[in-house]
Structure 1
Amino acid sequence: MPAHLFRRLCLATCLSATASLVNAETWPAADWVAAAAAPSSAIEALEAYAFPARDDATRKGIRTDALLVIRDGEIVYERYAGPTKAETPHLTWSVSKSLMAATLGTAYGNGRFKLDDPVAKFYPPFAEHPDVKLGHLLNWASGLAWQEDYEYAPLKSTVVAMLYTRGRADMAAYATSIDQEVAPGTRFRYSSGDSNLLSAALKGMVGEPAYKDYPWTALFDPLGITSAVWETDASGTFVASSYAYMTARDLARVGLLMQRDGRWGERQLLPKAWIAFNRTPFANYQPSAETSGEAVPGGQWWLNAAVAGAAKPWPDVPEDAFAALGHWGQALYVVPSEKLVIVRYGDDRDKSYQHNQLLKLAKAAFAAEANQ
């Protein structure tokens, strides 16, 4: 056979195989396909943990607002509580950081930036920190003297100042004003300031006219997400650290995109290299006794990775699990090896909710191996 005919045959075979794979998969159209699992003792155990008697008077204990489980592209479990309904766009808090990472992934795929680009290239006010690269921000490793203390230490908290007091009009400018404490890339320190600097940098990448719609045109619209609300500060910059709202079903679309390595149907919406970066532990992360049970930082996502001799943070879950996590119990979990995507919204104020426990129970009830 002539070489050119052989190449055409190989290409046709590959395209046919790809089309067959996509056609065999379940993808949500305007709504999800529901294939609810039959009641079981495993599901009862999951519900007993996630939905105990709700104490709204004192806000104590586990208070789940929504729990949605997707297996291989289909809904297998869905329940809501409190004021939350299926159509409620719920505040995601710091899950917003991972949503910004996914939005940035589309810009990365279009060649708009590289991980080693200085932040100041796209956000000139940051020129006083010339050595901080975009990759450093994505790993929460800017080296700024940031204090992420929330309501437990409000007087010294830079995140409280940024979100609610002197920094709220222009959050990226406030983060820029924080002193450089250590060399960038040498230390992990969780920072909502780093995430809002990424949002300001995105504005510089795409330009102001396109920026106001960019999360929708680049990410949400292709995924069929219709409920998203993303607040900006007074400067018009999306509050990437904290203020995206979305229904559980729409957030699950982002999880399915991540579970399938950035592919949505036949379209590679996020580059595989970007997903690999999101899921790679920050090289200089050092687990400690204080961080035991806490997920490992990746590229604005959290990983169930065993690093630096420490055990994986969620011992009862496969090591490939990763998550977007937010204040008061918001979570988008992805477990590729089990083809699971789980959205959990909550209002937990006393830290009684445990990621490992919910994931352990969900795996027992819905993982592919448990349903064969």
Structure 2
Amino acid sequence: MQLLPRSVKGHLETDLTLTAIISQSDSSTVYRGTLKVGSELLQVAIKSASNLSAGWRECEVLRLIGCHPSVVHLLQPVTSDGGEFFQVMELCDSSLAQMPALEENVFKVFVQDFIQAVKTLHQKMKFVHGALSLDHLLLNQDQRLKVCSFSKTEVCQNVNLLKKDLQDMAVSILEAPSKERFGDLSPETAFENPRFLVDNLARKSTLSRNDSILLVSLAYPLLTGLTLAQNLENHVFLQSPENVLRFIDGCKDFLMSRSCPMAESRLESTSYSVVGPNWVSQGHLDTMREGRRYDGSMKDLLRLIRNKTEHYCSVPGYIRQCLAHPLVDPGSFLGYFTALFPGLIPWTWHCMFEFRVEANLQAFYPEDGQYLTRVPIQQMIGR
């Protein structure tokens, strides 16, 4: 291998300088380098492929995908005088395999980007990535996801192969926020014991237990081949705290405005697992309920949370210090309740699925979400 730094003549006579090795495999080497375009010097990643046909095929795949915000951008192909093939691409900070555990807010954005990339690759382009792992999921300077390495990508109409590709992607989703890889993670393990995934995430990542449950309920249909990820961006895991509070508001309005024994029965069917034998004794909730009548039902817990967003100022000062203001800091406000009841939001979301056509609930559910009824949420939230 030639010593670095190394210069080659690029496409349209641009100057390309290779300065350091980022990663290396049997089939390719990725360098850090600079691309001189006129008077401007760009920081770039340069991939050298030992297999010319695979290199050109990857270029064609990237050209077909175009400038997708969650796929690495191909800036230009370069051929040196010696016939060696290079691809010049945007430079990202690092792969998820190299990074420490992701902060919770960064990880949620990463999952949103991931789902948009999946929609483009599978549903629009009919591509199977073919080799996705944590090494092929990058974060750029703005902490946004970039999928890379398309040398093994193929056009595919086989639904089973697309689902297998999604299973590999779902494993990467679950591994991404962890401090260490789940060596024994497999679709079969998840199918047999989804609680295993929740426990691992909650123990090994920066995600709270509530968000670990939410994430597993999102990834479970992918792991078990129940769906090709249609409309997963509406999953409650990906909603902002403000929207989750709106979801609670919508559920409360639906439950209080009409008599719906089926909805209440579904909510209460595993309430012991979600909130324990008497939720009003948890934290400061007994003090919060003064002045209004609440029983020990799930419906009234949702009602209390919603009412405190409207009547925050009536809450005693020492409790307000724990809650934070729902308008100023909705994440901390919601986090107080989800720390007490980690399964509250995912359980409510799954129970209210049958009523997703209601105007104030539609935004929180995928249009085609029948697979949700096969997610064993009870196993994930058990105390």
TM-score tier after normalising by the smaller chain length: under 0.3
TM-score (norm 2): 0.23
Larger relative contact order, structure 1 or 2 (CA cutoff 8 Å, min sep 6)? 1
The structure carrying a bigger helix percent of its residues is 2
